[in-house]
Amino acid sequence: MKFYSTLFLVSISYVLIAQELMIHTIPQELCNNAHAVLRNYEGRFEVKAIDKAIYTEHRTITILSKEARLSGDFIAFYDQSSKIRQIDYRIYNQHGQLIHKANKKEIKDQAAISNATIYSDNRVKYYQAPEQITYPYTVELSYNIEYNNTFQFPRWFFLLNENIALEYSSFEFEYPKVLKGRYKEHNFKGKTTKSSTSTSERIKWELQNQVAKKSEPYGAALEEILPSIQLAPSQFKFDDYTGDLSTWQGFATWIHELNQELDPLPEEFKKELKLLTKGKNSLEKTKFIYQYLQDNSRYVSVQLGIGGFQPFSPATVHKHGYGDCKALTYYTKSMLEAVGVQAHYSLVYAGNIPNKIDKDFPSNQFNHVILLVPLSYDNQLDTVWLECTSQTQTFAYLGSFTANREAFVIHNNGKLEWKQTSNYQCQDNQTISKTTIRFDKELNAKIDIEKHTKALSTDALSGLQFLSKQKQGETIKSYLDLPKAQVQSIDLYTQHSEHFGLKAVLSSNNLLNKIGTSYTLIPNICSRHSFIPPNHKNRSQAIHLHIGYEQIDSVEIQIPPQMSIEGLFEPIQLDYIFGSYQAKIKQLANGNLLYTRNLLVKNGIFEATNYKDFLHFFKTVTHSDRKKMILILTEP
């Protein structure tokens, strides 16, 4: 009898679980604009001691369409100071019936390294639902991670992404009072419960019934719009090193003290550097040292314990010729100081989109290191930023990876300073194109192109220098949409740190397109805009344009002697708060045609109400850039 009672209770339990996970139990309003719905999403982070913490997660999510497939994957990172335990992953069909449970062998475990990484203890465990699975389906997963260091605390997002709705989510944070855990709420409008004992503090956040936030192009970063709880320690321990992260100065002091343990450059090498830079001013010395760095070292990533924060010593980099961003930066700093030039180790958050540092919440918000060199020479002051990981980057130039953001500068006495890296505005990121097109009697065209780029606009061309001549030619023809053209010559040049140029000569026998007895030609062959933002009704987010730029084009066209002009398009001019555009074509006194174009896109944040104009602007630019002129034969 006892056996049958137990069996009955287990059966009832499975029925209840199935009922809870049925798709039709999700409120309809949560399915609107949603690719997935988080049914239940619970997390907990408990600090047990200065060197011990545990993170626990339980997630039940219904995947409605393939766009959200990744949100049902299990993925967790660990290293020598952490362990992942108690992984449980189950899949249910739309009726709430269990159809798969991942076994231990199905959970992948591999090194989490990039091609440039040679020293790393970072690993990842992951599992993906089978591709042949039928939508919709529900994933239930749980796991915990035990940490033996407390430098980095997690950030909890109640919503995993845009286009994901939420039924219920909770997050708990518990810590010993003596360690003074810290937290900050972002976009959170749920329930908060606080409790304590004689030795610990506990906070619980709960949020429910959140409709999906629609993905909007050119919107804010997810960190700025999704509800989340950011955590950070005050006192922490990383390997054998303790520190205080309750203030930014405490963080700077910890980094500074880590670097003080490093072995210096060999004395003989210091003497050699002094001899090689004798008679040079501080700018010339800095250029020499930077060139020496690029010629004699290469980048590798190091993510091994405290090595993720403490660089190789300058002596080690000098001996082996490689290092990560920390090591190569500190090596460059040491070489500069050996020849009498001060330089400062600087932390940034690197990425093509600048990440705003929250100065009100001291914590590790950085992923890269660069070098600040304040210079004084020839009665003038200058500030130079050096990216020390590239063997090809031009001197004193920061690309979109580290420009236009705040750096956490650590001076040689350990004091911190916030400093803006190279700040490029739209007119700084300029491309000037001058093109001449000449036709012979057989209507074959000779095309002479000169493109000169500045600042962040150099990123579009500078990669050509690392390609073979053949690949350079193929890339240029693709860029001009002239696949059958013949490349006669290519010349690449760099004037100074923030300028890169291209001169090319091409020939083409099909630049003119014959339609009946007429011929058409698109005069803009160098700078055709191709991307139109998607139409988005009921826009709610502001428009975020991170990089502004300016394009100035002129194309002079020598008309074939046996042809005349039948039709030219009307000039166009657009002016909006986020940019401007003008294009026109006219006939010169010598009979040639001159096409001119100017496109200016401003960086900044613009109200959502401007999106209709924003869409119209780029639609018009894209259409105008492809406008054709018409020529006719006047003699056979």
Mind listing the pLDDT tens digit for each residue in 502-514? 999 999 998 998 8
Same domain, 407 and 435: no
Q: pLDDT at position 9, please?
A: 40
What is the mean predicted confidence (pLDDT) over 610-614? 95
Same domain, 268 and 362: yes
Same domain, 176 and 276: no
Flag whether pLDDT at 195 surpasses 80: yes
Measured between its terminal Cα atoms, the distance across the chain in Å is: 106
d(CA 547, CA 354): 10
526: three-class secondary structure by DSSP: coil
pLDDT band at 2 (very low <50, low <70, confident <90, very high): low
CATH code of the domain covering residue 572 = 2.60.120.1130
Mind listing the pLDDT tens digit for each residue in 276-319? 999 999 999 999 999 999 999 988 876 554 557 888 899 999 99
Greatest mean pLDDT range, 225-229, 353-357, 484-488:
225-229
pLDDT greater at residue 498 or residue 636: 498
Same domain, 262 and 226: no
Last residue of a domain, one of 200, 224, 241: 241
d(CA 558, CA 482): 19
At residue 249, φ and ψ (nearest 5 deg) are -65, -35
Domain presence at residue 376: yes
d(CA 444, CA 83): 68
Question: 138 has which bridge partners?
Answer: 62, 92
Q: pLDDT at position 394, please?
A: 84
Last residue of a domain, one of 222, 241, 260: 241
Domain presence at residue 322: yes
Same domain, 197 and 329: no
Structure token digits, residue 127: 């599992």
Q: By C-alpha distance, which of 304, 343, 309 is closest to 325?
A: 309
Same domain, 122 and 258: no
Same domain, 19 and 99: yes
Flag whether pLDDT at 53 surpasses 90: yes
CATH code of the domain covering residue 397 = 3.10.620.30
pLDDT band at 500 (very low <50, low <70, confident <90, very high): confident
What is the mean predicted confidence (pLDDT) over 95-109? 94
Can you say how many angstroms the Cα of residue 210 is from the centroid of all Cα atoms in its chain?
A: 28
231: three-class secondary structure by DSSP: strand
Tokens 């805009």 belong to which residue?
Answer: 529
Domain presence at residue 461: yes
State the residue range of the domain holding 548: 430-633
CATH code of the domain covering residue 158 = 2.60.40.3140
Q: How many CA atoms lie within 13 A of 46 on its CB side?
A: 9
Same domain, 267 and 379: yes
87: three-class secondary structure by DSSP: strand
pLDDT band at 122 (very low <50, low <70, confident <90, very high): confident
Domain presence at residue 545: yes
Order across the sheet with 164-176: list the strands: 98-101, 82-92, 137-147, 52-63, 36-49, 164-176, 200-210, 191-196
Domain presence at residue 17: yes
Over the Cα atoms of the chain, what is R_g?
A: 30
Flag whether pLDDT at 552 surpasses 80: yes
d(CA 525, CA 390): 33
- 22 touches 96 (CB < 8 A): yes
Same domain, 261 and 221: no
Flag whether pLDDT at 409 surpasses 60: yes
d(CA 203, CA 171): 8
- 62 touches 138 (CB < 8 A): yes
Q: pLDDT at position 451, please?
A: 92
Q: pLDDT at position 537, please?
A: 81
Same domain, 175 and 285: no
* CA-to-CA dists, residue 589 to 571, 594, 595, angstroms: 19, 11, 14
The string of DSSP letters for 316-385 reads HHHHHSEE-HHHHHHHHHHHHHHTT---EEEEE--SSSPPPP-TTS-S----EEEEEEEEEETTEEEEEE
pLDDT averaged over the chain? 90
Same domain, 53 and 180: yes
Domain presence at residue 237: yes
274: three-class secondary structure by DSSP: helix
Domain presence at residue 425: no
What is the mean predicted confidence (pLDDT) over 403-427? 94
Same domain, 518 and 410: no
Last residue of a domain, one of 208, 241, 274: 241
Mind listing the pLDDT tens digit for each residue in 331-343? 999 999 999 999 9
Domain presence at residue 534: yes
Mind listing the pLDDT tens digit for each residue in 394-404? 888 888 899 99
Distant-in-sequence, close-in-space partners of 196: CB < 8 Å, separation ≥ 6: 177, 202
d(CA 76, CA 60): 16
Domain total for the chain? 3
Least-confidence region, from 121-125, 169-173, 310-314, 492-496: 492-496
d(CA 391, CA 294): 4
d(CA 534, CA 408): 37
